Amino acid sequence: MNLLLTVATEDPRLKLRINFGVSYRSDVFHVRDVALQVAVRIGEEFSEVLREPEPAVGFLDYGESSLDFVLLIWIINPHNEMKIKSSTRFMLFKAFQEEGIEIPFPQRDLHIRSMDSKVAETLYCQWPLEKKGQENKKKN
């Protein structure tokens, strides 16, 4: 069964959701303030961005690699949605760089319990010389 649902409304406003994540070392209140400043600048750049309802920042979650936020901006013309979202992301990126707010990327620690002796020998031969010297000092 195929179902098509059409929602008709007289309200032409559209709420844009711009998700982003920052480092766990970030001051969440500073992140919120910088994101809201970006929303104001986007409103100055695009006439479609509404002043009411005001832009808002939500702290969504403690993510695996980041503190996760959403910036909410209301617009009147949905035809410019992609352009406004893209400009907002560019502006957020630049503002975070200028404010020293890090946008993290996933990182993994690898714990090896056992490995083939030939692989271990190859890895050890590629280990930096200063590390090998430190290991030898520890053994003595």
Q: Is the pLDDT of residue 2 over 80?
A: no
**Which two structure tokens, joined as six digits, stand for 31?**
């992140």
Task: Using pLDDT thresholds of 50, 70 and 90, give the confidence band for residue 23.
Answer: very high
DSSP-based three-state secondary structure for 33? helix
Task: Using pLDDT thresholds of 50, 70 and 90, give the confidence band for residue 135.
Answer: low
pTM, whole model, 2 decimals?
0.72
Task: Find the mean pLDDT for residues 8-32.
Answer: 92
Q: Is residue 76 part of a domain?
A: yes
Whole-angstrom Cα distance, residue 90 to residue 83?
11
Q: Is residue 2 part of a domain?
A: no
Q: Is residue 25 part of a domain?
A: yes
**Whole-number pLDDT of residue 115:** 76
Task: Using pLDDT thresholds of 50, 70 and 90, give the confidence band for residue 12.
Answer: confident
Q: Is residue 83 part of a domain?
A: yes
What CATH number is given to the structural domain containing 67? 3.30.70.100
Q: Is residue 60 part of a domain?
A: yes
Beta strands in the chain (DSSP E): 14-22, 56-62, 67-75
Amino acid (one-letter) located at 79: H
DSSP state, 54?
Answer: P
Q: Is residue 112 part of a domain?
A: no
Expressed as residue numbers, the domain containing 65 is 14-99
**Whole-number pLDDT of residue 127:** 66
- pLDDT one-digit tens code per residue, 39-61: 999 999 999 999 999 999 999 99
CA distances from 19 to 14, 22, 28, 66, 139 (A): 16, 11, 15, 12, 50
The structural domain count of the chain equals 1
Q: Is residue 66 part of a domain?
A: yes
Whole-angstrom Cα distance, residue 39 to residue 49?
9
Whole-angstrom Cα distance, residue 46 to residue 125?
58
Q: Is residue 116 part of a domain?
A: no
